[in-house]
Structure 1
């Protein structure tokens, strides 16, 4: 069963974000610098939602290697295994809105995992970077496939140093082509295209401070609905009809991220990271994200990183917990809880151990992390009780190790 891109932002993407912490997957261009060693990274992540709704296991591996004196090549592999149940619509029960969770279909009951959502995703993402004296150019791409969803993308990135290497400018562009083929709803088969552009810079303020900022523009067109979500329509509290989730066929997005990093030599070379991100789109979803983390070395190669993140978003213009006649006339409607107004708080901690000077390895690093996420309508900026029926939480646990040789 396909789970939409937005749903993946609720769980699989959490694992993908965690994977970005892998050194091999963070081989972003550093101007004029070629990684001279081979890097191998492996990570496992487990995501579990409350009420036994969704469980995801993710396995990721990445390998990067120098190519001559001016290039680095890398390839990343990922496998996600998803099982569980997901909200499919909302219903009025004695005047109160309740989420309806997808039940195990007969097909699912005879499948290996016996769940209504039982799927896996396999993906590969190769990349090559060319370095020159004051910058770098990167070409990348990727392909992933699951039972009813196929995605392909190509991209490029460019970075250049200025101001005696105290300033770096970055630009990237990518385009993705996705095909959606619902297993039990062939009439809703569709495709979509997403273009994304990033422009940013980093600035060394002084010997202890660094600031990074970037803006992202994206445009998606095509089939942007979720074929497995439905909207129940009511008139005067009485059930009228049920229609497939129907969203606009295009979306513009803008996001601005700023990060400040401060080094504290008196605290054993600790570092404070403070992030703020604002995003908005043509669907009316305005979102704010603030995060703070403390990177604390504790001696003998150990490091502890506690962090806290707060997120708040407004509901989409066409979101309704249950549909009414006006939405039906307009032709766009969704009761997907991910498009509702809500807030979320995440708290987590990562512990790592680095060992240097091994033979034949030059570097070995282990990392273990965990986080707790609480999604609540009441946590939205300004407060909101309208969609508290969709409140939930999850746990995410990750483990990884990096080898250099």
Structure 2
């Protein structure tokens, strides 16, 4: 999922079930056969985050910020033995508000009560053709909320060696976003009535290698070039460059244990962009089948990033009185006090439990807990003026094969 400029939470992009296609692909692409059966599934997500910080309504106390409820319906089906189609539809509601600067200030969405509500609708459609040693797939997606519209199209193919032990993947996508700027400015309290745009071209190259009957590894390299409106109109002060390029390097290793029949999945992701952010994500999960169709999957993710080149740390005056924003440096062309662009570290711990019901039905429940702190940053300088951020998410799903 993608994080729009209006999204009011650092953690939100990690938990929403976004329908827009994202590169690089998270799948281990080593199968050249279409699915034998169709699948219809439904997932419900409940998310809540919290953070201490001063605003017009609270002073230093811990308070809830963003709440999300999302419902997603997905379907995949084989066609004529050589094709498959897939589609999904999502509706989510977002309530609450995040700070206008650092972890303090008036709510960034200017809600008088700090509890505004918004609906977002998103959907996608994909079509894949299977060959004896490869696949070719295309997808389109669309997402709409009150002030943000996103459209995306992509094309991705894979090719396997004769022994099927190595698969190469190449893909590209184009995203066109429209941002409707008709919101009150936090300080000047005046209307901005205009539309802005943003376009992103992205590409992916990946290699998946079967090392043995127990081990499979994957390496993905992704690059994107974006141009357009990156400033967040719900943050003040905030002025960002109109272009943003990023590169990602993703490695995965899956190992299966014969004795326990469990599988460990390890990953490392490196991210760098033209804003100056450098980020590392280390993830691990262990899938353990149990008796009577049960499966349990504990997971752990560690994350750290450096700050953007134009991030403005909370000054001494703001730390003493958080109700006043730190002014940007005199003559600065770009500046932001958005905590999402600061240096920080984060830990996510969770568990997923699933149950196979007969041959056709599967139900699952997933819980995650997230904590983010400035002092956990391994690179860059954590901003002592930003308080700890917490989030939790619960996701329930059911699927049926046919």
TM-score bucket of the superposed structures, by smaller chain? 0.7 to 0.9
Give the CA deviation at 1:104: 7.9
Spell out, residue by residue over 1:345-370, the C-alpha distance to the aligned partner (whole angstroms, 9 max, x if none).
Answer: 0000000011343xxxxx21111000
The reply on whether 1:333 has 2:335 as its aligned counterpart is yes
8 A contact 1:377–1:383 mirrored in 2: no
Q: Secondary structure at the match of 1:330?
A: coil
- Matching of residue 77 in structure 1 with residue 89 in structure 2: yes
Distance 1:390 1:37, change over 3 A: same
What value does the CA root-mean-square deviation take over the aligned residues? Answer: 2.6
1:52 matched residue in structure 2: 64
* 1:264 and 2:257 matched: yes
Corresponding residue pairs, total: 368
Runs of 4 or more, structure 1, over 6 Å off, are: 17-20, 25-29, 323-326
Distance 1:17 1:152 in 2: 13
- Gaps of at least 5 residues in structure 1 are 91-97, 232-244, 358-362
1:186 shift after superposition: 2.8
In 2: Cα distance, 1:369 partner to 1:32 partner: 30
Residue 29 of structure 1 deviates from its aligned partner by 6.3
Give the counterpart of 1:277 among 244, 269, 273: 269
Aligned residue runs from structure 1 range 164-183, under 5 A: 164-183=163-182
Task: Indicate which of 373, 376, 379 corresponds to 2:376.
Answer: 379
Q: Of 295, 305, 313, which residue of structure 2 is paired with 1:303?
A: 295
Normalising by the residue count of structure 2, what TM-score does the alignment of the two structures yield? 0.85
Does the 8 A contact of 2:306 with 2:380 survive in 1? no
Matches within 5 A, 1:306-325: 306-322=298-314
2:242 matched to which residue of 1? Answer: 249
Corresponding residue SS for 2:259:
helix
Per the normalisation by structure 1, the TM-score is: 0.85
**Over residues 14-71 of structure 1, what are the superposed CA-to-partner deviations in whole Å (9 max), with x where a residue is unaligned?**
1227999xxxx98886543111322101000011012210000110011112221211
Map of 2:148 onto structure 1: 149
Contact preservation (8 Å) 2:19, 2:123? no
Aligned with 2:356 (options 354, 357, 366): 354
Residue-by-residue CA offset, 1:297-324 (whole Å, 9 max, x unaligned) = 1121111000111000000000003587
Deviation at 1:5, TM superposition (A): 6.6
Partners of 1:190 and 1:19 in 2: CA distance: 20
Higher relative contact order (CA 8 A, sep 6+): 2
Residues 342 and 382 in structure 2, CA contact (< 8 A), matched pair in contact too: no
Counterparts of 1:368 and 1:146, CA distance in 2: 28
Whether the 8 Å CA contact 2:328–2:335 is kept in 1: the answer is no
Q: Superposition pairs for residues 1-400 of structure 1, below 5 Å?
A: 4=5, 7=8, 10-16=11-17, 31-50=31-50, 51-90=63-102, 99-102=104-107, 115-184=114-183, 185-187=191-193, 189-231=195-237, 245-267=238-260, 269-322=261-314, 327-357=329-359, 363-381=360-378, 384-400=381-397
